[in-house]
Amino acid sequence: MLERLTELEDKALAELEQAAGQADLKAWKVKYLGRSAELATITAGLRDLSKEERPAVGRRANEVKNALEKAYEAHFESLRAETLDRSLREERLDVTLPGRSVSHGRVHPANQTLRQIYAIWAEMGFQIYLSREVESDEYNFTLLNMPEYHPARDMWDTFHTTEPGVLLRTHTSPGQIHVMRERAPEPIRVILPGMCYRYEQITARSEIQFNQVEGLAVGRHITFADLKGTLNAFARRMFGQEVRTRFRAAHFPFTEPSAEMDIECFICGGEGCQVCKRTGWLEILGCGMVHPIVLHNGGYDPQVFSGFAFGMGTERITMLKYGIEDIRYFWGNDLRFLEQF
Amino acid sequence: MKVPISWLKDFVDIDLPIEELVHRMTLAGLEVEQVRYVGLPLPEGKFEGHTSGHRQVETNITGLAWDPDKIVVGEVLEVMPHPNADRLVLCRLDDGQKEHIVLTGAPNLFPYKGEGPLDKPLKVAYAREGACIYDGHKPGLELMTLKRTKIRGVESNSMACSEKELGISDDHEGIIILDDDAPVGMPLVDYMGDAVFDIAITPNIARNANILGIAREVAALTGAELKEPSYDIAMDGPPIKGRVMLEIRNPDLNPRFVLGLIEGVKVAPSPYWIQRRLRLAGMRPINNIVDATNYAMLEIGEPLHAFDYDVLVKRAGGRPLTIFTRLAEPGERLTTLDEVDRVLDEFTVLVADKAGALSIAGVMGGAESEVNENTTNMLLEGAAWNFINIRRTIAAQKLSSDAAYRFERGVHPAMAERGVRRGLALVARLAGGIIAEGLVDEYPLPPVDPTIEITPNDVERLLGIRLEAEEMADILRRLAFVVEVDGQTLRATTPDHRLDIGQGVVGLADLVEEIARVYGFDRIPETQIADTIPPQYGNPLLEHEERVRDLLVGLGLQEVVTYRMTSPEREARILPPQAPPDDRPYIRLANPIASDRVVMRHSLLASVLEIVERNSRVRERISIFEIGPVYLVGENGGLPEEPLRLVIALSGPRAIPSWQGSDVEPMDFYDLKGLVDALFAGLQLRAVRHEPVEHPTFHPRKCARILLGEQQLGVLGEVHPKVVERYDLPGAPLVAADLDMAAILAIIPESHTVQSVPAFPPVLEDLAVVVDEDVPAGAVENVLWLAGEPLLVGVRLFDLYRGEQVGRGKKSLAYSLVYQASDRTLTDNEVVKIRAKVIKRLESELGAKLRD
Ligand SMILES: [Zn+2]
């Protein structure tokens, strides 16, 4: 029996030497160390042996088992090391093959710009106030110091509805009246974003609907100098710290004095180019001190309160920023356009 | 408004370079959109800007400079026939240096052909060899350089120019014949070089829609003196009084009416300088009397109307001539100058005599009483009209004119008399005649020219700058206000040419604007708001909306933003042909821009499906969403509700085929449901459930509504095949969700409680049950949760099997279950108990059988 065990050990160790891979190794383990291996059978058969034989055979069987297990461990380790070694040496990827595609979501560019603008104004304490798109003539015009037949109404090409006195807002300015009437006499700092409508042919340069962001600050000590400081701070955040601005006198019925803020063309650096029509300046927004009649209509005493307001078309800003040449891309929603943002 | 600088210089001296002047005007609210150089040298590309000291170009600059050495005043001494060509003539021309023979085909020289040396030589614009001018024979503006050529055997190296060739107008009918006083040999640019500003006139500066108004602004901006024209004129004829009566019936519509009379005029073409100025200002010269009235209007801003006095006398039929201004009678008609027979509205104001209407007041004259080439006696009207009524009139008659352009923006009644006086003086100068003594002037409703009190404190309060009272007064006086300064208080009276200054606090703001504008916005400092910070409200709904947007983008969806105008026909495409139509009322446009954009949409889904359709031509796989309003009219009309909707649409393969073998099966209901569930989970609205529902847009058996409690939050499903057919789509299944965004935003919790991470190991176990086909999986899952609580913490369906092994009409659902206690490791015994309970309830409630 003892010889048998030695034979078994030799045979097993010899076979282990031949085991070339994980599969061989596994089979070897089943064959020599498994439940039904000969060694296990011998161990199980110990009780059938004579008392004299039993201790020696038992000890020897145990020795063989330990030796085989140890050899197995060693062989397993060396095989693993060899496999790893080989994989490090031989396996490789073509890193230029494309990666697995993922579905990539994006915010619409018009809303990306709005979010950027919201964030800048939020930091300056201007919160967002939303109001309706289908408006009354009263809020869109009359309360903004444009009574019926006022020539200034010609400045807006208006979509009217079949309901008398109901129109599509031509600007977000009606929101000024809404927010003032809601909050008077508290001071106000809000921006009023949203979709506006103009009766215009749709061309590369003009759209029937467009996002506008209006701003309104009302308080007891607000000045035109504050307007300049605040809008310049915005311009520097939006267009770069180096951007230069200028304020041109302009006319809006709901502000006085009124101005238009131009920024130095960031495409040509003010040298004059196609985009700025060779003027060196880009018209970015209209602004001014809130007209006393508008303050009054909002519930503020214009002798005590003052305020400034501004408004900008945000698709135009997006177009300037990305060199977009056709405003129709925005609502056309061609994925080949949208996927570039 | 086109303003030749030469004309401007009649009223104000200008020392500044043109570019600098343009810059100052633009910053002060007179936006110069274009400068067209007509002879004067163009700036060298760019120039020094005012505020910046930086190289800037303000304005669109065009035009042609006339070389002073090559383009001069010449004198045609004789016009001779061309030896070989009937349609050409040869001119003997003196250019101040020597005589030349110049070849031309200008028809306006033909009358002089063969007359021998002219008694009165003709002054012309002469271009020498090498001069750069526009090619008169080519359309548009094409530059050419004069070269020596031979035309029909006669050598030619120079020419007498037309207006087109010099860039004055597009007239190439004949050559320019200058006025007799033009000095021969003088460089033409010195004689009549010009530059024309095209200035945008906003409604608040309507008073500046004339040369004098712009000159006044220039004077205010540069500090130069304004040279007002004289309104003192020689009135040597018999008095007008008694010859013409006047009656104003509606003073509120016609606050003033002035008539002057000039007799013995001789109609002829205007002198060249008048014609040139009119053309540069954008008007066509007609004859001296019409030109004189137009010239006066352009110059001081009062539109004038000229009647043939003799026609009116004849119409009066021997009775005294009376002019009325009155409202049109019902059905009254008038044939206007443009030869349109018009039915007049009841609000139309007419100038009339006893025989009937003569003109639509302030807008357009009638054909009969108009001046013509035979007119000798002329009645000149200057008046003031209610601008709102003028606007109503031109809107109703779809009619416009240079006069209406001004009257609809408001012209001060004081200008009526000035206009008539200036007009009469110009007629007399251009067409001769004697002006009757006096004017007939009815002025029933003089406006009040506001007097405003303003102090440096007012300016400081609104502008944030401290000015001295005298500095403010100086600015206002430059704008022709009459100002008294009393210590720190100014009393400024509005000049009687403007109507835009209000009373009280409005007038104050008006004056502050005038001061700011002339002082210069660029000189006002930048400050930060010092006023108290307002109460902070935030905008939770918008914040939620942005969160939804972020979640959806994170889930791989592309956002779109669509047009909100559509047509009922376009929206009907989301319904199968036999479905009952959407009969809710629309917000309908009164003036749609296109026949397919006539209403505000009811359905965001319809908008988004159009985008799917459009992109299906360029993209195989589409996964998009939009958040946007729809417009729902209430029962009583008026302003609509504008609730936000959220639409998600998926079409095409789950993944784009790739070298690794992607899952390219079409996206289906469950792809969409996965997204929707992930959205609600992200919003911490985990209790939403899906129930089958029928909706006309969707497949009747593949549509669910989403509920939270009893509140419906929207539907999702596979779009009905008959709806898909109505779109130009490649045919892949189209799945979409149409959710009530407004409702969702309202219920998103502001915050939620987080569960502790378990400290004890979970027990994992699989369970497969067989149920009847019509038992919904949701019901099985429901029972699992109810029976398994509180130790069951995870349920995941990992297999759904139908087939022989489970029998017909049956299905097997295999779940992976997670049991977990927060305070201990579960024992086998506990797990066995829950499992038994779960199985028992599945059996008793759903007739489920355990599958092994
Ligand atoms: Zn540029």
Read off the pLDDT of residues B504-532 as tens digits, 9 standing for 90 and up. 999 999 999 999 999 999 999 999 999 88
Contact (CB, 8 A) for B128 and B96:
no
Using an 8 Å CB-CB cutoff, list chain A residues near B587: 134, 161, 163, 166
Domains and CATH numbers, chain B: 2-66+195-222 (3.30.56.10), 71-192 (2.40.50.140), 244-442 (3.50.40.10), 451-517 (3.30.56.10), 540-747 (3.30.930.10), 763-850 (3.30.70.380)
Whether residue A102 is contained in a domain is answered as no
Q: Is residue B851 very low, low, confident or very high in pLDDT (cuts 50, 70, 90)?
A: confident
Query: Is residue B605 within 8 angstroms of chain A, CB to CB?
Result: no
Model pLDDT for residues B271-312, shown as the tens digit of each residue:
999 999 999 999 999 999 999 999 999 999 999 999 999 999
- Residues of chain A with Cβ-Cβ distance to B396 below 8 Å are none
Same domain, A149 and A264: yes
CA B149/CA B816 separation, integer angstroms: 100
CA angle A108, A109, A112 (to 5 degrees): 90
- Give the rounded percent of residues in chain B with a pLDDT score beyond 70: 98
Amino acid identity, residue B365?
Answer: G
Residues A130, A234 share a domain: yes
Angle at which helix A314-322 crosses helix A109-123, to 10 degrees, equals 110
Least Cα separation, residue B394 to chain A (angstroms): 11
Give dist(CA B144, CA B166) in Å, integer.
Answer: 11
Q: Give, rounded to a whole angstrom, the gap between the first and last alpha carbons of chain B.
A: 92
Helix (H) or strand (E) holding A4: helix A2-18
| Mean pLDDT, residues B667-694 | 95
Flag whether A101 is in a domain: no
What's the domain count of chain A?
Answer: 2
Does residue A96 sit within a domain? no
Minimal C-alpha gap between B657 and chain A (Å): 9
Calculate the dihedral angle through the C-alpha atoms of B396, B397, B402, B404, rounding to the nearest 10 degrees.
-40
Q: How far apart are CA A37 and CA A14, in angstroms?
A: 16
Mean of pLDDT values over B584-591:
95
- CA A313 to chain B, closest CA, distance in angstroms equals 16
| From B529, B587, B614, residue closest to A226, measured CB to CB | B529
| Interchain CB distance below 8 Å, A333 and B506 | no
The mean pLDDT value for B10-36 works out to 93
User: Does A116 lie in the same domain as A81?
Assistant: no
- C-alpha distance from A4 to closest chain B C-alpha (Å): 45
Higher pLDDT, B575 or A7: B575
> In angstroms, what CA-CA distances link A112 with A243, A341, B550, B562, B837?
21, 9, 11, 15, 53
- Are A55 and A170 in the same domain? no
Q: Is residue A103 part of a domain?
A: no
Residue type, A186: E
Are A6 and A82 in the same domain? Answer: yes
> What is the reported pLDDT for B58?
57
Q: What angle (nearest 5°) sits at the alpha carbon of residue B750, between those of residues B744 and B756?
A: 115
Instruction: Check: CB of residue B169 under 8 Å from CB of residue B163.
Output: yes
Q: Please tell me the distance between residue B215's alpha carbon and the centre of ligand 1 in angstroms.
A: 31
Q: Give domain status of residue A50, yes or no.
A: yes
In a domain, A314, yes or no: yes
Where does a domain end: A25, A59, A90? A90
Q: Which amino acid, residue A91? A: E
C-alpha distances out from residue A338 to A232, B249, B834, Å: 30, 64, 52
Do A118 and A228 fall into the same domain? yes
Q: Are residues A113 and A78 in the same domain?
A: no
Biggest alpha carbon–alpha carbon distance for chain B = 135
Task: Compute φ and ψ for B336, nearest 5 degrees.
Answer: -85, 170
Last residue of a domain, one of A28, A59, A90: A90
Q: Which amino acid is at A105?
A: G
For residue A104, tell me if it sits in a domain: no
pLDDT at residue A152, as a whole number: 80
Contact A330 B561 (CB under 8 A): yes
Neighbours of B194 (CB within 10 A): 22
Q: What is the mean pLDDT of residues B57-85?
A: 89
Average of per-residue pLDDT across A31-53: 84
- Whether cis (ω within 30° of 0) applies to the bond prior to A253 is no
Separation of CA B41 and ligand 1 centre (Å) = 24
Q: Which residues contact B286 (CB under 8 A, 6 or more apart)?
A: B294
- Asked whether the beta carbons of residue B509 and residue A135 sit closer than 8 angstroms, the reply is no
The values of phi and psi at residue B501, to 5°, are: -95, 125
Residues A44 and A146 in one domain: no
Shortest CA gap A80–chain B (Å): 29
Helix axes B540-554, B669-682, angle to 10 degrees: 140
Q: Which residues of A touch B619 (CB under 8 A)?
A: 335-336
Cis peptide before A185, with omega less than 30 degrees from 0?
A: yes
- From ligand 1's centre to the CA of A321, what distance in Å? 12
Minimum distance, in Å, between the CA of residue B207 and any CA atom of chain A: 13
**Binning pLDDT at 50, 70 and 90, where does residue B438 land?**
very high
Q: Using 50, 70 and 90 to split pLDDT, how confident is the model at B402?
A: very high
CB B381 within 8 A of CB B304: yes
Whether A311 and A217 map to the same domain: the answer is yes
- Locate B596 and state its tokens: 């397919």
- Closest-approach residue (CA) in chain A for B558: A105
**Contacts of residue A339 in chain B, CB cutoff 8 Å?**
558
Dig out the tokens for B333 from the structure.
């008609």
Q: Do B392 and A303 touch (CB under 8 A)?
A: no
Tell me the DSSP string of B458-514.
HHHHHHS----HHHHHHHHHHTT-EEEEETTEEEEEPPTT-----SHHHHHHHHHHH
Helix (H, G, I), strand (E, B) or coil at B720: coil
Q: Please answer whether residues A280 and B57 qualify as being in contact, where contact means their C-beta atoms are separated by less than 8 angstroms.
A: yes
CA of B67: how far to CAs of B71, B128, B137, B187, B273, in Å? 6, 10, 21, 8, 20
Q: Which residues pair with B36 in a beta bridge?
A: B62, B196
- Answer with the residue of higher pLDDT: B817 or B804: B817
What digits encode the pLDDT tens for the residues B111-168? 999 899 999 999 999 999 999 999 998 888 899 999 988 877 788 889 999 999 999 9
Going by pLDDT thresholds of 50, 70 and 90, the confidence category of residue B627 is: very high
| Residue A115 falls inside a structural domain | yes
pLDDT of residue B45: 53
- Give A-chain residues touching B533 at CB under 8 angstroms: 125, 187, 189
Q: Which of A29, A55, A90 is the last residue of a domain?
A: A90
Q: Which of B201, B513, B607 to mutate to test the interface with A (most CBs of A within 10 A)?
A: B513
| Phi then psi dihedrals of residue B49, to 5 deg | -80, 170
Closest CA relative to residue A6, chosen from A51, A42, A30, A50: A42
Q: Which of B273, B305, B405, B518 is nearest to B1 (CA)?
A: B405
Closest CA to B379 of B289, B316, B315, B298: B289
Q: Which structural domain range is residue A215 located in?
A: 109-338
Over residues A233-265, the pLDDT tens digits come to 999 999 999 999 999 999 999 999 999 999 998
pLDDT digits 0-9 by tens, A111-170: 999 999 999 999 999 999 999 999 999 999 999 999 888 878 878 899 999 999 999 999
Q: Which of B35, B51, B593, B596 to probe the A interface (max A CBs under 10 A)?
A: B593
- Cβ separation A229–B526 shorter than 8 A: yes
Which class for B229: exposed (0-12), middle (13-18), buried (19 or more C-beta within 10 A)?
middle
What does pLDDT average to over chain B?
Answer: 93
pLDDT at B666: 93
d(CA A248, ligand 1 centre) in Å: 18
What is the distance in A from the centroid of ligand 1 to the CA of A264? 8
A64, A149: one domain: no
Confidence class for position B49, pLDDT limits 50, 70, 90: very low
CATH code at position A163: 3.30.930.10
State whether residue B589 sits within 8 Å of chain A by CB: yes
Nearest by CB to A224, from B26, B462, B508: name it: B462
| Closest residue to B517, CB basis, from A98, A257, A264 | A257
Instruction: Sort out which chain A residues have CB atoms less than 8 A from B614's CB and list them.
Output: 332-334
Identify which has the larger pLDDT, A3 or B216: B216
Partner-chain residue, chosen from B462, B535, B597, that has the shortest CB–CB distance to A306: B462
* Statement to judge: residues A170 and A286 lie in one domain: yes
A125 lies in the same domain as A167: yes
